[in-house]
Structure 1
Amino acid sequence: MRLFSRHLLLAVGLGALVLGTSGCTRIRTHQGYQVDKLLVDSIQPGIDNRASVEATLGRPSFTAQFGDQDWYYVSRDMRALAFSNPKPVAQTILHVRFDAAGNVVAVDRMGLEQVAKISPSGDKTPTLGRHRSLFDEIFGNIGAVGAGGMGGAGGGSNTGGPNGS
């Protein structure tokens, strides 16, 4: 009977240990475009155009903000341990540039070296401009409103009748 209770206690302890450590596994995720090297290598400058690139690679992740001369395909692999912040492990940015006629000019690849690490400084964002106190914010406009003509009508003089004569 004692041997059975020891085995049961050992089994319960091992089960609790397995469940407790299962939350500490690495989580791997993929975000964005699935890069197929063969398809990407088939895009040739001077030969392909927008229609053939879209037929080969699909719609881009995003396009240039002004105009549609640049298409971007973004792919990123992330890794995290349990509840920690995910960190990029691999990244590919495929940049396809077109000329005004819509033909491919260049195909560039960028990797993880393009990821910038940004460290915030404190809980406030520094900005340029005036530094005003609370009282300046509240009482700073007293006397400034309507100071040009005191009436808001442009400051002209009124000499009589309704049409100014």
Structure 2
Amino acid sequence: MRQSSHRFRGGRLILTTAVIAAAVMTSGCTRIRTHQGYQVDKLLVDSIQPGIDNRASVEATLGTPTFSEQFGQGDWYYLSRDMRQLAFASPKPVSQTVLRVSFDGAGNVSKVSRTGLETVQKISPSGDKTPTLGRHRSLFQEIFGNIGAVGAGGMGGGGGPTGPGPNGS
């Protein structure tokens, strides 16, 4: 009888160790959800009306925009994005809302528009080099390629026999 209880304790220890090991290994596989940007409140967004609201009333209702247009009428953008990430993988957008509030010349709201995930673009870098147009030069050509070119006549160097002297003559 004593031997069977000893086996039971050993089995329980192995089972407990296996459960703890499995919990530790799967804890790195948890999903991470994050929110970035503006917290969209549908009721507040729907209350912005073209022809009625202006910049001051939009800011009082929605707050400061995430960013604003630098040229043109100065449209305001409110960006909201929910991301999901599994362990060490790259984060992926789950939902996105870009709220654009357009203003006319007098600062009154002319249009309110929304876009979603359809505007998200996936950019995949190609290898470890950025392709460029033009000559393909080696490291040594880049380092030593300009030797003798600095100050050469006709290259913008000052004061040679073909250019004006320091007094302009």
Instruction: Pick the TM interval, shorter chain.
Output: 0.7 to 0.9
The whole-number CA distance in structure 1 between the counterparts of 2:157 and 2:65 is 57
1:121 maps to 2:131 = no
Which residue of 115, 118, 136 corresponds with 1:110?
A: 115
- Structural RMSD (CA): 2.6
Equivalent residue pairs, number: 161
TM-score by length of 1: 0.84
Which runs of 4 or more aligned residues in structure 1 lie more than 6 Å from their structure 2 counterparts after TM superposition? Answer: none
Other structure's SS at 1:20 match: helix
Other structure's SS at 2:48 match: coil
Give unmatched runs, 5+ long, in structure 2: none
Paired residues of 2:49 and 2:109 also in contact (CA < 8 A):
yes
Give unmatched runs, 5+ long, in structure 1: none
Paired residues of 2:150 and 2:157 also in contact (CA < 8 A):
no
- CA deviation after TM superposition for structure 1 residue 6, in Å: 1.8
Distance 1:43 1:133, change over 3 A: same
1:99 maps to 2:104 = yes
Other structure's SS at 1:89 match: strand
What is the aligned-residue identity percentage?
64
Distance 1:145 1:10, change over 3 A: same
The equivalent of 1:18 in structure 2 is: 23
User: Which amino acid letter does the alignment assign opposite residue 13 of structure 1?
Assistant: A
Which residue of 38, 43, 68 corresponds with 2:43?
A: 38
Which residue of 6, 9, 30 corresponds with 1:4?
A: 9
- Residue correspondence of structure 1 range 8-157 to structure 2 within 5 A: 8-66=13-71, 69-137=74-142, 138-143=144-149, 145-148=151-154, 152-153=158-159, 155-156=162-163
- CA deviation after TM superposition for structure 1 residue 157, in Å: 7.5
